[in-house]
Amino acid sequence: MDKSVMICRCEEINIDEIETVLKLGAERFDDIKRITRCGMGPCQAKMCFKPVAQLISDYTGKSLSEIPPARARMPLRMTRMSVMASNQDSGSTVKAVFEDGDPDDK
């Protein structure tokens, strides 16, 4: 396939960029993510994991069962800072940032 084809549409990373990283020794999705930013955009690897795993498999010869899924962490969805700060439940560091004054004074 044309190497200029984009795989990660959020961060705009194409096949060529991913293969460059594979040549450097990347083996897992997270390796590629840390160097290229592939999977770090708003969708958080939802769209690009499978094609990247296929590229890793094609290049390294590993089977797809040897390529672990992209690591998912909290928050699982895009969350606005102001919404985080609204948490009345417990003392919120995020909330303190939005308020006036030094949080250490509280």
Partner 1 sequence: MSYIRQHPRLPDVNVEEVTIHYDGIPIKTRKGISVAAALMEQDIKKLGESRKLNQSRGLFCAIGRCHSCFVTINGEEHVRSCMVTVEDHMEIYPNLRDPDVRSRCNED
Partner 2 sequence: MKTELIVVGGGPAGLMAALEAAEKNVMVTIIEESHQLGGQFRQQTQFLDSLPEGMPRMRGVELANELVKKVTNNDNIQVYTNHAVIGLYEDGRVGLNNGKEILSCQTEKIIVATGADIQAVFFPGWTLPGVMTIGASQIMVNRERIKPGNSTFIVGSSDFALEVALQLEEVGINVLGIIEKDSKFHYRKQALGEQVKEKGIPLFKNTFIEQAQGNGQVERVILNHNGKREEYEVDLICVDGGLNPIVELCQLYDCSFTYNETLGGWIPSYQSNFQTSADGVFVAGNAAGITCQGAVLVTGKLAGLSVAESLGKVSAQEANLIRSHYWSELSKVEQEFNPLVHEARMEHVQNIDQAQIKVYES
* From partner 1, partner 2, none, interface partner of 41 (C-beta below 5 to 8 A by class): partner 1
10 binds partner 1 (CB under 8 A): yes
Q: Which of 1, 74, 76, 78 binds partner 1 (CB under 8 A)?
A: 78
Burial of 53 (0-12, 13-18, 19+ CB in 10 A): buried
Q: Are 3 and 14 in contact (CB under 8 A)?
A: yes
Q: Considering the complex, state which of residue 22 and residue 43 has its C-beta at the smaller distance from partner 1.
A: 43
Residues pairing with 14 in the sheet: 6
Q: Quote the least distance from Cβ 14 to partner 1, whole Å.
A: 10
**Taking each helix axis from N to C terminus, what angle separates 29-36 and 15-23, rounded to the nearest 10 degrees?**
110
Backbone angles phi, psi at 52, to 5 degrees: -65, -40
**Which parts of this chain interact with partner 2 (CB under 8 A)?**
1-2, 4-7, 9, 30, 46-47, 50-51, 64-66, 68-69, 71-77, 79-80, 83-84, 86-89
